[in-house]
Amino acid sequence: MSQGNGRTPREPFGQVAVRKGYVTQEQVRHALEVQQNLATTGQRHKLIGLVMLEMGMLGTTELIEVLKEIDQDLHSAAAPPSVRPSNS
């Protein structure tokens, strides 16, 4: 699946955290609401992982694990496909 710019869309932070069993989908929804409220009240934007950390939904270790997985996915998506040598 491509976004038209040649890049594969990455899995959102909240989805990775849910898939890894760190949070529930409801907790992600709540954190997104908090994030949106910050924006509508003119406060500084916070990344969803920081919102979840500050709310106690995630610990530092879980936050880092989710970020590592997203980073690995981005690097593997950006890597050119490997070329296997032919047997001829």
pTM of the model as a whole: 0.76
Q: Which whole-number Å values give the CA distances from 81 to 12, 77, 78, 84, in the listed order? A: 23, 9, 9, 9
Please give the C-alpha separations between residue 41 and each of 46, 82, 84, in angstroms, as whole numbers: 13, 48, 54
Residue for token digits 């001829």? 88
Q: Cα angle vertex 10, ends 35, 77, to 5°?
A: 150
Task: Tell me the torsion sign for CA atoms 45, 63, 30, 26.
Answer: positive
Q: How far apart are CA 53 and CA 62, in angstroms?
A: 9
Q: Tell me what percent of the residues of the chain surpass a pLDDT of 90.
A: 69
Whether residue 52 contacts residue 23, with contact meaning beta carbons closer than 8 Å, is answered with yes
Domain ranges in the chain are 13-75
Structure tokens of 62? Answer: 């879980």
Per-residue pLDDT in tens (0 to 9) along the chain, 88 residues: 444 444 457 899 999 999 999 999 999 999 999 999 998 999 999 999 999 999 999 999 999 999 999 999 888 877 666 655 556 5
